[in-house]
Structure 1
Amino acid sequence: MTIIRQGSLFGLQELYDLEPTQRFEAIFSAIDIDPIFAVVTKKSRLGRPVELNYAAMIYSLVARISERIPFIKDLVKRLKNDMIFRLDCGFLVSDSVPSEAAYSRMLTIISESNILEEVQETLLHQAIQEGFITDDTVAIDATHFEARDQAPPKDHEKPKEEPKKRGRKSKEEREKWLIEKAEREANLSIFEKKIEDQLNVPLAELRNEIPQDPQWGVKKNSEGKNVFWYGYKGHLAVGTSSQYILQSLFSSGSLNDGKAAIPLLKGIQERVPLPSLRYETMDAGYDYEPIYTQIHQMGHQAVIAYNKRNEPEPIGFDKHFAPTCFREYSYRYDSFDPKYETLKYTRPKECKECPLANEGLCQKIYKIRITTDLRKYTAPARGSKAWKSIFKRRTAVERVNAYLKGYFQLDNVRYRTGKRAKVHFDIITLVYNASKLAVDRINAQLNQQQAA
């Protein structure tokens, strides 16, 4: 019997095992730098003379992430001392090596535009066109990374409030308090308001108003204790099978994870032409009704872990909100009717020999519209095998977060302002997706060679 050996897939680790020249060529070919070049090049005859190779500088910033070079000064030193590296980045022998100040000026220009997001979108469209992104599920989660600056005391964030007066307010005091409260709420930014206020706000406005300065953040560790840190958050929407970053968002560390979900979802809806998408999966930190509403408006289904929040036990339903019979056995999830948006449940197995069923006191079939409560009734139904199977795919976004920190220097933020830190984050996500596209193209070539 002939033994056929299955060829292993080429992955990110294998990409990094390649010679630098091969790796750079594969990654650079996946990025269209022309729009970035148009933004950073000098457009006036006045001022300093143009002596810099801006295209090579852009490529060298990509190579810095790929080579895990921690500082710009180390990048400049590497370019001066390593001729092969300099040529790989696109510099000519006659080109002078840019200074740290030149790189700083270029990054400042990039930070004033959204050009990296546009290049990222072009890359995703190319990957979709080449058939590498065919996901039906998106996983959303956030990861934190610390700022370079020394963190201020946590008490510095919130001034001490005056002690409240005890007792009931008079009519005049209550009217004054209500007016002041309405004024305060009207002056709040969109991310300081409730999540439901984001539903009718355009995507461009949401992305422009997101806070980006370093702030104190808090998370629970594996022991359930609060851990405080000072810095930023990266919010990602990742295709669970392709593991491309379909949307990303940079914010202050204090922003609640749930408040970043709707901008990510709207970004998927407006910027990612992927008709195969059906599900969005998230952990319990995103269990807010407006997020379910946004997903329902997109025509997709939400697979989000339920956060009980001290709610009373439902009567006539189990913990997964499936209906129960008189003897409190749970009905079994059968199917979902997309036309009427209805979940179908069938009689429990234990009811086959139940006298109540024979007397007609126990229904054979239960149907529930998911629009009755989008948070409780999801398709597939909570607790079902299909729901659990989709929810397990959420680990893809955790894997990508680990890649960004382990391979792409997400933890190495070397800028004091949120705008410059965002450029660092955008370059990292761009290089990651470019690396994924490079790997997929190499795998496609290998498969073609094996088939030939």
Structure 2
Amino acid sequence: MTIIRQPSLFGIQELYNMEPTQKYEAIISTIDVDAIYHAVTKKSRFGAPEELNYAAMIISCFVRYVERIPTIKDLIKRLHEDIAFKLNCGFLVSDAVPSEASYSRLVTKLLECDILEKQKEKVVLQAIEEGFITDDTVAIDATHFEARDQTPPKEEKPKSEQKKRGRKTKEEREQWLKDQAEKEATMPLYEKKIEAQLDVPLAELRSEVPIEPKWGVKKNSEGKNVFWFGYKAHLIVGTSSQYILDSLFSSGNLNDGKAAIPLLKGIHERLPQLNLRYNTMDAGYDFEPIYEQVHRMGQQSVIAYNKRNEGELLGYDKHFAPTCFREHSYRYDSFDAKYETLKYTSPKECRECPLANEGICQKVYKMKITKDLRKYTAPARGSKAWDNIYKRRTAVERVNAYLKEWFQLNNVRYRTGKRAKVHFDMVTLVYNASKLAADRIDAQLNPSQTA
């Protein structure tokens, strides 16, 4: 009997087990280092000449994340002690090893331009062109990481702003509502309600994201609040390819839901060639404006429902499917995309029901999703199709774990938000570059399987 051996997939872990020369070349070849070099080098022939090898410095910054070197100081030490490593980073034997101050100036030049953002988008476009990104479903989630600075004490509201006990009079309430409306009108964009983002252009949404380190809060496995000081990484990931299609860096106190619309608009405007159908998110994104944004894009939301002190709807089950006279749930049958209508058929229990021939219960229910985008999704909540799509959301959690474990996302070495954003952009760029490099090698090893 002939034994057929299945070819194994080549992934990021196998890539990182390769020899340094091959590994660096495979990863760096996916990034346009020349474009970054031209963005950070001197634009004028006047002034002091630059004696540093900026191209090699840029490569060594990427290699630092590949090799998990924790600090620039450790990188410089490695360049001094390991001549092979120095050559693999692009330096010549005669080149002087840059100082920490030189690397700091490079980071300053990178934060003054948006070249890393452009390179992140370029790598994704290249992966799409080569056929490695063919997802129809994306997942959105956020992960936190702490700042380099020592955590300051939490700010307490002054006594004048603390809530007064007792019920307000009619005049006090009218004045309070007026003050709240004036206050909200002058608020920064990300302090307003999420619906304020719907008609704001993408460029403005991204430019106004708060990026300074702030106190954040999350619930642990025991349901208790845990406070931390730092930042958040918001990612939108292809559930099959596991590429980061778009990302957002923010302060730690930004609500996860307020980053969803910028990410959704980002892939809709920047990556129109993707044929996306579903957007999966956990219950932290269960806000009506997010459903509205997905609907405007012509796609479907698969978001866990977050019950907010809402009572049970009479005639419907917990998944908002209609119920019969004896409170059995109707079964989801299909979705008519043309009319945006969900079709439900009679429950199994109705076959043997003594009221079946009485005409009390109808056999088919049709429900337009536009009646309530939050409750009625396609496929319908509670159906096997909905559950199977929602399970794909774990892809973004897997990518979050990769970024922290393999790419040093939680190892911020800078004290300001702008410099920490350079770290975040480097991490996400190196991840996508490593993914593209691994996919290219896998395609060469298993051409028939890729085809």
TM-score after normalising by structure 1: 0.96
Q: What residue in structure 2 maps to residue 109 of structure 1?
A: 109
* TM-fit CA distance, 1:394: 0.6
* TM-fit CA distance, 1:32: 1.1
* TM-fit CA distance, 1:147: 0.5
Structure 2 gaps of 5+ residues are none
Q: What residue in structure 2 maps to residue 59 of structure 1?
A: 59
Q: Give yes or no for contact 2:135–2:274 (8 Å, CA) kept in 1.
A: no
More divergent stretch after superposition (284-293 vs 78-87)? 78-87
Return the alpha-carbon distance in structure 2 between the equivalents of residues 275 and 426 of structure 1.
Answer: 23
Q: Give yes or no for contact 2:79–2:86 (8 Å, CA) kept in 1.
A: yes
Q: What residue in structure 2 maps to residue 442 of structure 1?
A: 441
Return the alpha-carbon distance in structure 2 between the equivalents of residues 116 and 95 of structure 1.
Answer: 26
What amino acid does structure 2 have at the position aligned with 1:37?
Answer: Y
TM-aligned CA distance change 1:48 to 1:58, over 3 Å: same
* TM-fit CA distance, 1:210: 0.7
Return the alpha-carbon distance in structure 1 between the equivalents of residues 132 and 105 of structure 2.
Answer: 36
Q: Give yes or no for contact 1:280–1:301 (8 Å, CA) kept in 2.
A: yes
TM-aligned CA distance change 1:183 to 1:89, over 3 Å: same
1:35-74 → structure 2 map (5 Å cutoff): 35-74=35-74
Q: SS where residue 246 of structure 1 aligns?
A: strand
TM-aligned CA distance change 1:252 to 1:157, over 3 Å: farther
**CA RMSD between the two structures:** 1.7
Q: SS where residue 357 of structure 1 aligns?
A: coil
TM-aligned CA distance change 1:165 to 1:386, over 3 Å: closer
Return the alpha-carbon distance in structure 2 between the equivalents of residues 450 and 324 of structure 1.
Answer: 47
What amino acid does structure 2 have at the position aligned with 1:277?
Answer: L
What amino acid does structure 2 have at the position aligned with 1:132?
Answer: F
What amino acid does structure 2 have at the position aligned with 1:16?
Answer: Y
Q: Give yes or no for contact 1:357–1:363 (8 Å, CA) kept in 2.
A: no
* TM-fit CA distance, 1:170: 6.7
What do residues 42-94 of structure 1 show as CA deviations (whole Å, max 9, x unaligned)?
A: 11233332111111111111000000011111111111221111111111222
Aligned residue pair count: 450
Q: What residue in structure 2 maps to residue 354 of structure 1?
A: 353
* TM-fit CA distance, 1:451: 10
Q: What residue in structure 2 maps to residue 18 of structure 1?
A: 18
The answer as to 2:425 corresponding to 1:426 is: yes
Q: What residue in structure 1 maps to residue 282 of structure 2?
A: 283
The answer as to 2:79 corresponding to 1:79 is: yes
Q: What residue in structure 2 maps to residue 342 of structure 1?
A: 341
Q: What residue in structure 1 maps to residue 318 of structure 2?
A: 319
Return the alpha-carbon distance in structure 2 between the equivalents of residues 389 and 450 of structure 1.
Answer: 25
Q: What residue in structure 1 maps to residue 118 of structure 2?
A: 118
Return the alpha-carbon distance in structure 2 between the equivalents of residues 159 and 64 of structure 1.
Answer: 45
Q: SS where residue 56 of structure 2 aligns?
A: helix
Structure 1 runs, 4 residues or longer, greater than 6 Å off: 449-452
TM-aligned CA distance change 1:5 to 1:98, over 3 Å: same
1:291-302 → structure 2 map (5 Å cutoff): 291-302=290-301
What amino acid does structure 2 have at the position aligned with 1:113?
Answer: C
What amino acid does structure 2 have at the position aligned with 1:57?
Answer: M
Return the alpha-carbon distance in structure 2 between the equivalents of residues 109 and 355 of structure 1.
Answer: 77
Return the alpha-carbon distance in structure 1 between the equivalents of residues 296 and 102 of structure 2.
Answer: 46
What do residues 117-156 of structure 1 show as CA deviations (whole Å, max 9, x unaligned)?
A: 11111110100000000001101100000011111111x2
Return the alpha-carbon distance in structure 1 between the equivalents of residues 201 and 35 of structure 2.
Answer: 24
TM-score after normalising by structure 2: 0.96
Return the alpha-carbon distance in structure 2 between the equivalents of residues 359 and 175 of structure 1.
Answer: 55
Q: What residue in structure 2 maps to residue 241 of structure 1?
A: 240
What amino acid does structure 2 have at the position aligned with 1:142?
Answer: A
The answer as to 2:29 corresponding to 1:29 is: yes
Structure 1 gaps of 5+ residues are none
More divergent stretch after superposition (322-331 vs 5-14)? 5-14
* TM-fit CA distance, 1:185: 1.2
Return the alpha-carbon distance in structure 2 between the equivalents of residues 137 and 188 of structure 1.
Answer: 34
What do residues 194-213 of structure 1 show as CA deviations (whole Å, max 9, x unaligned)?
A: 00000001111111111111
Q: SS where residue 342 of structure 2 aligns?
A: strand
Q: SS where residue 237 of structure 1 aligns?
A: strand
* TM-fit CA distance, 1:398: 0.5
TM-aligned CA distance change 1:180 to 1:62, over 3 Å: same
Q: What residue in structure 2 maps to residue 262 of structure 1?
A: 261
1:188-207 → structure 2 map (5 Å cutoff): 188-207=187-206
Q: What residue in structure 2 maps to residue 332 of structure 1?
A: 331
What do residues 271-320 of structure 1 show as CA deviations (whole Å, max 9, x unaligned)?
A: 12343211000100000000000001111100000000110101100000
Q: SS where residue 336 of structure 1 aligns?
A: strand
Return the alpha-carbon distance in structure 1 between the equivalents of residues 388 and 176 of structure 2.
Answer: 50
Q: SS where residue 324 of structure 2 aligns?
A: coil
* TM-fit CA distance, 1:35: 2.4
What amino acid does structure 1 have at the position aligned with 2:32?
Answer: D
Return the alpha-carbon distance in structure 2 between the equivalents of residues 317 and 153 of structure 1.
Answer: 48
Q: What residue in structure 1 maps to residue 228 of structure 2?
A: 229
What do residues 221-261 of structure 1 show as CA deviations (whole Å, max 9, x unaligned)?
A: 11111111111000000000100000110001100101010
Q: What residue in structure 2 maps to residue 416 of structure 1?
A: 415
Return the alpha-carbon distance in structure 1 between the equivalents of residues 106 and 358 of structure 2.
Answer: 79
Q: Give yes or no for contact 2:443–2:450 (8 Å, CA) kept in 1.
A: no
What do residues 303-350 of structure 1 show as CA deviations (whole Å, max 9, x unaligned)?
A: 000000110101100000000000000000000000000000001111
Q: SS where residue 4 of structure 1 aligns?
A: coil
Return the alpha-carbon distance in structure 2 between the equivalents of residues 99 and 223 of structure 1.
Answer: 46
Q: SS where residue 227 of structure 1 aligns?
A: strand
Percent of aligned pairs sharing the same letter: 74
